[in-house]
C-alpha cells in the first residue's frame, strides 16, 4: 500500500482540469462527507473531509502529505464523484443506506500498476457515530476504476468492469482456501461459476470489440443506435446469468453458516448487480431514450 507515496509526487496543476458539473442532492451530500482511505506501507489511513487522520497516529510522511496536498485531495474527491455520477450507479443503488448514514461514504484507494495514475476504488458507507468504534460494520456499496489523466472511458467503462470480474474471482478462490471449512465440498459451485465467468468474459469482450469505443450518439442513425443497444443488452444477459449462479452459491453458504467466507461472495454479487444496473440505466436506458425520440430526416 503506497498510494500516499504515489500521490505525493502529483501536482494538481499537472492533472486535467475538472469540468463544471451539476450534482444532484445525493452526489452533493456525499462529496461533502466523503472520507478517503489511503495506504502508506502497511497502514491504511482514514482521512476525514477536513483532511485529518481519524484512525491512527499519522507518520511524518503522512503529516507532510496532508499539509502540502490538501488541494490534491479535494481534487481527488471531486474527480471521484464526477466519475461515479457518470460511469456507475454505485451511489444510486445504495442511496437508502447512504442517506441513513448521513451521506458518509468511504473511498478506499488501491493503486493499479506502477504509474501513479490508475486506481481501483472501493466504496463503503458507515454510521458516523460508530465509524471508529465499529469500523468493521461498514457496508460495501461497490467499486470503480479511475485514471487520473483520462476521465473519458472507452466503451463507457464496461470493458474495465468485465475484466475486473475475472480478477475478483481469482481473489475469491484464494479467500476460499483460507476461509471455507471444507472448500472441496463446494467444488461444483466454483466450477459452474468459473464457466459462467469465462463465458461472460469471452463473449462480452468479443461484443465490445465490435462496438465504437467513444460512440457519438448524436451522429448515429437509428439503425446504429438499435444495434449498439442490442449489443450492450446482450452483455447484460450474460451478467444476469452469472449473478444468478453467484446468488445460488451465496444462499447455500448462508445456509451452511460459512460466515467467514460468504461476505466476499456478497461483495462479488454486489459488483455484478451494480454493473447490471449501470448497463440497464445509464447505457441501455440512454440508448433507448434516443431510439424512441429519434428524429427522422425528411427529404
DSSP single-letter state for residue 239? H
| Mean pLDDT, rounded, of the chain | 95
Mean pLDDT computed over 201-217:
97
Question: Is residue 298 predicted with pLDDT exceeding 70?
Answer: no
Q: What does the pLDDT look like over 154-200, one tens digit per residue?
A: 999 999 999 999 999 999 999 999 999 999 999 999 999 999 999 99
Domain boundaries, the chain: 3-147, 154-292
Residue 264 above 60 pLDDT?
Answer: yes
Q: Give me 89's grid cell.
A: 450507479
Q: What is the pLDDT of residues 32-75, one digit of tens each?
A: 999 999 999 999 999 999 999 999 999 999 999 999 999 999 99
Q: What are the tens digits of pLDDT across the range 91-113?
A: 999 999 999 999 999 999 999 87
51: which residues sit within 8 A by CB, 6+ positions away? 66, 70, 73
> Within the chain, where are the H helices?
3-8, 25-32, 60-68, 70-87, 90-93, 95-100, 158-179, 187-209, 222-255, 259-278, 284-292
Residue 114: what pLDDT?
64
Section 232-252 average pLDDT: 98
**Which three cell numbers, joined as nine digits, stand for 149?**
489523466
Counting Cβ atoms within 10 Å, is residue 56 exposed (0-12), middle (13-18) or buried (19+)?
A: exposed
Q: What is the pLDDT of residues 111-159, one digit of tens each?
A: 987 666 899 999 999 999 999 999 999 999 999 999 999 999 999 999 9
| pLDDT (average), residues 73-87 | 98
What's the confidence (pLDDT) of residue 56?
95
Give the per-residue SS3 of 113-147.
CCCCCEEEEEEEECCHHHCCCCHHHCEEEEEEEEE
Q: pLDDT of 1-18, one tens digit each? A: 789 999 999 999 999 999
Q: What is the pLDDT of residue 299?
A: 45
The more confidently predicted of residues 285 and 117 is 285
pTM: 0.95
Amino acid at each position: 500500500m503506497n498510494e500516499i507515496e504515489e500521490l505525493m509526487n502529483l501536482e494538481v496543476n499537472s492533472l486535467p482540469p475538472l469540468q463544471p458539473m451539476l450534482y444532484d442532492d445525493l452526489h452533493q451530500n456525499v462529496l461533502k462527507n466523503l472520507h478517503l482511505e489511503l495506504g502508506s506501507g502497511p497502514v491504511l489511513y482514514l482521512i476525514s473531509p477536513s483532511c485529518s487522520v481519524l484512525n491512527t497516529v499519522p507518520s511524518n510522511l503522512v503529516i507532510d502529505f496532508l499539509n502540502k496536498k490538501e488541494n490534491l485531495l479535494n481534487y481527488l474527491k471531486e474527480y471521484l464523484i464526477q466519475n461515479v455520477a457518470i460511469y456507475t450507479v454505485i451511489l444510486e443503488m445504495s442511496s437508502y443506506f447512504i442517506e441513513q448514514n448521513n451521506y458518509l461514504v468511504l473511498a478506499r484507494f488501491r493503486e493499479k500498476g506502477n504509474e501513479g495514475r490508475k486506481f481501483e476504488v472501493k466504496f463503503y458507507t458507515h454510521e458516523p457515530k460508530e465509524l471508529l468504534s465499529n469500523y468493521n460494520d461498514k457496508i460495501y456499496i461497490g467499486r470503480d476504476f479511475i485514471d487520473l489523466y483520462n476521465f473519458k472511458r472507452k466503451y463507457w467503462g464496461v470493458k474495465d468492469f468485465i475484466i475486473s470480474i475475472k480478477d475478483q474471482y481469482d481473489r475469491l478462490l484464494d479467500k476460499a482456501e483460507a476461509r471455507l471449512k471444507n472448500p472441496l465440498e463446494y467444488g461444483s459451485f466454483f466450477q459452474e461459476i468459473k464457466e459462467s465467468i469465462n463465458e461472460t468474459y469471452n463473449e462480452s469482450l468479443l461484443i465490445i470489440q465490435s462496438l465504437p469505443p467513444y460512440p457519438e450518439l448524436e451522429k448515429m442513425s437509428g439503425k446504429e443506435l438499435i444495434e449498439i443497444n442490442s449489443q450492450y443488452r446482450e452483455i447484460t444477459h450474460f451478467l444476469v446469468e452469472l449473478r444468478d449462479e453467484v446468488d445460488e452459491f451465496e444462499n447455500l453458504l448462508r445456509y451452511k453458516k460459512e460466515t467467514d467466507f460468504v461476505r466476499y461472495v456478497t461483495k462479488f454479487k454486489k459488483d455484478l448487480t451494480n454493473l447490471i444496473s449501470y448497463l440497464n440505466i445509464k447505457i441501455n436506458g440512454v440508448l433507448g431514450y434516443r431510439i424512441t425520440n429519434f428524429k427522422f430526416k425528411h427529404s
